[in-house]
Amino acid sequence: MLDVLLEFLPFYAGAYGINVALYFATGIVLVAIQSRHPERRIQQNRRGEKRMWTEIRQSVLSLTVTAGCLAGGVFASVKGWTFVEPLPLTWWSAILMFAVSVVAFDAWFYWGHRLMHTRWLYRFHAEHHRSVAPTVWSTYSDSLVDAFVMQSYYLWAVFILPIPVEVLIVHRLVDHFNGTIGHSGFEFYASPLSRRPSPMVCVTFHDQHHAHFRYNFANFFSVWDRLCGTLDPRYDQDVRRMEKQAAQGAQSATKDG
């Protein structure tokens, strides 16, 4: 047992170190970009930056769980402990399993997220919602229980999906950038591709979840929220408004130039 633990520790240390490094690197880059475009702030009357240090402390703590889930999944796959063997890594298996994994994770995230909003479990999710106006630093500002529920996908997915570990790691990287941008509080991505009839979303999607609490529970797509009636009624309208603002800003910049 001790030998297995010692063998696992480098996996865990690597996963935690990379997650924390990406957390700070992505946050610093996005803040620098946002500071040059204050007009893109979604919640203009709120300043989530006031909670920055609280969010950073909580994120560094909760990433211990996220890293453990990812490292556990990778380790189990490498050791051959899974119920199915991963597909050989080829270009087609990488694309296929990445798509399958993203769709599966979005379903897991939606239903797990809704579960965390029930009166029995919300106390474990409340820490994340103290960031009413989310920022790049609030992405992982979760309790340890909350982090496990939302991120344990990376632990169990390898047991039932024939996903190569390289693809699982790429999925986790994409999820990191998607989550950090989604919590950034600044809208740069509103477009027809992020509203009906497209299943894709933009930053406004998750920002509305933090502002209004009862809507927009999914991660990558709006499909589950549309099917289950939990999409914010103002989402598509607000995305259109953001599109117009961006277009007007671009026209003004062109005229000034």
The packing angle between helices 144-151 and 122-129, to 10°, is: 100
Q: Is 47 left (phi over 0), alpha (psi -120 to 50) or beta?
A: beta
DSSP 186: B
Residue 221 phi, psi (nearest 5):
-130, 165
Q: Whose CA is closest to 168, among 7, 35, 11, 1?
A: 11
Preceding omega of 197 cis (within 30 degrees of 0): yes
**Single pTM value for the model:** 0.94
pLDDT, position 129: 97
Dihedral angle, C-alpha 33, 35, 37, 40, nearest 10 °: 100
Local confidence pLDDT in tens for the 257 residues of the chain: 888 899 999 999 999 999 999 999 999 999 999 999 999 999 999 999 999 999 999 999 999 999 999 999 999 999 999 999 999 999 999 999 999 999 999 999 999 999 999 999 999 999 999 999 999 999 999 999 999 999 999 999 999 999 999 999 999 999 999 999 999 999 999 999 999 999 999 999 999 999 999 999 999 999 999 999 999 999 999 999 988 887 766 555 555 55
